[in-house]
Amino acid sequence: MKIIIWGHKLHTHTSSYVHYGFYKAFSFMGHEVYWVDDNDDVSPINFDDCLFLTEGQVDKKIPINPTSRYILHNCDTVKYEGVKKKLNIQYFHNSITAKDIPDDQHPTFIAKGDLTKINDYTFFDGGTLFQPWATDLLPHEIDLKNAHNETENRECVWIGTYGGWGSIFQNHLQIDPFFDECRANNISILRIDPWAAPVSPEENQKLINRAFLAPSIQGEWQVKHGYTPCRLMKNISYGHIGITNNSAANYLFDGQLVFDENIQALFYKVLEKKNDPNMIGEIKALMQEVKTKHTYINRAEMILSLI
C-alpha cells in the first residue's frame, strides 16, 4: 500500500514525533511510505489509491483524491466531506469513558454512549478511533536486556515540552517541584527542549536509559483528563522505570508504575524504588507490556483494520 504522511517534519512540532512513529511502523510493515509537507515538491507522486495520514495544522495543500483514504487528526471536517473513506483519530483519554474503580482492584474503562470498547485503551464510535500514542521503538527494538537502574550518574533527564505558562496545557507547576527535590538531593538536571535543541531518537534513548531519574510528569489538564503521554511509553521502552503523577496512566499499566499525585511524595517513592532488588525485573515486565501493546505497529494495525 502507498501511504502518504502529510505532516510535521521531525522536531518541528510535538505531532512530528507521532508522524515519525507512524513512518517507522508503516515502513517496517512493508508499505511504500512518503513523509511530506506543504513545502515539498510532490509532483512525482501518484496520489491515486493512497492512504493519507495528516494533522489539521499542516494539511493546507493536501490533495483530495476520490480514490484514496484519509486518516485525520484535528482536521477541518468540511474539507474532507467529499472523501468516501476516512477515519478520525484522537488520543485516548478518560473523558470518553465511564470509569469504574472497584475497591479491591484496578479500574476498568467502560465505553460511554455509542462508543465501542476494543480494549482498555482503544475505543471507536464509528467515525473516530481513540487510542494513545506510543513509543517510537519497533517491537524488535525493545530489548529487555536494556533494562537499567542507574546508580552512579545522579542526573534527572527531561526531554520534551516544559512550560506553557498561562495555558491550560502548562506543566511547569508540576515539574518544578520534582526538580526542586532533585536539587535538594544533589541530583543534577538535564532539561532538553526538543525544538530548540533537537536530539536524535537514538540519543534520546541513550540519555533516558542512563538517567538516574526520567520522570513523565504531566500538567493539571492532562492528569484530569487521563491523557497517557507517549513520553511515558518511550521512557519505559528505553529501559527506565515508569514514573508518573497520572492515575489513569498508572491504571493502564495495572498499577505497576511509580505513582503519586503529590510530586514531592512521587520523588521519594522513586528514590525508594531504586533500592528495590526487584526493580530490574519490574522494568522488564513494563518493557514487555509496551513491546506487546504500545508501539506504532499496534496503532497502525488498528487503523488499518478500521479503514
Q: What is the pLDDT of residues 171-198, one digit of tens each?
A: 999 999 999 999 999 999 999 988 788 8
Banded model confidence at residue 104, pLDDT cuts 50, 70, 90: very low
Banded model confidence at residue 144, pLDDT cuts 50, 70, 90: very high
Banded model confidence at residue 108, pLDDT cuts 50, 70, 90: low
Banded model confidence at residue 165, pLDDT cuts 50, 70, 90: confident
Q: What are φ and ψ of residue 146, in 5° steps?
A: -85, 0
* Percent with pLDDT over 90 in the chain: 83
Q: Residue 105 has what pLDDT?
A: 46
Q: Average pLDDT, stretch 44-57?
A: 97
- Low-confidence winner among 56-65, 109-118, 194-203, 249-258 (lowest mean pLDDT): 109-118
Q: Average pLDDT, stretch 158-162?
A: 91
Q: Residue 107 has what pLDDT?
A: 55
Q: Residue 93 has what pLDDT?
A: 83
Given a cut of 70, is residue 281 above it in pLDDT?
Answer: yes
Q: Average pLDDT, stretch 22-48?
A: 97
Q: Residue 100 has what pLDDT?
A: 59
Q: Average pLDDT, stretch 252-277?
A: 96
Amino acid 220 reads E
Given a cut of 80, is residue 233 above it in pLDDT?
Answer: yes
Q: Which residues contact 276 (CB under 8 A, 6 or more apart)?
A: 282
Crossing angle for the helix pair 230-237 and 279-293, to the nearest 10 degrees: 120
Radius of gyration for the chain, computed over Cα atoms and rounded to the nearest angstrom:
20
pTM tops 0.75: yes
Identify the CA nearest to 97 among candidates 115, 117, 80, 112: 112
**Beta strand extents in the chain (DSSP E only):** 2-6, 32-36, 50-55, 69-73, 85-90, 97-100, 108-111, 116-119, 122-124, 128-130, 155-159, 188-192, 243-244, 258-259
Q: Residue 236 has what pLDDT?
A: 98
Banded model confidence at residue 17, pLDDT cuts 50, 70, 90: very high
In the DSSP assignment, the letter for residue 233 is: H
Q: Average pLDDT, stretch 151-161?
A: 94
Whether residue 58 contacts residue 7, with contact meaning beta carbons closer than 8 Å, is answered with yes
Mean pLDDT taken over the chain = 93
Q: Residue 131 has what pLDDT?
A: 95
Across-strand partners of 116? 124
The kind and range of the H/E element at 208 are: helix 201-209
Given a cut of 80, is residue 66 above it in pLDDT?
Answer: yes
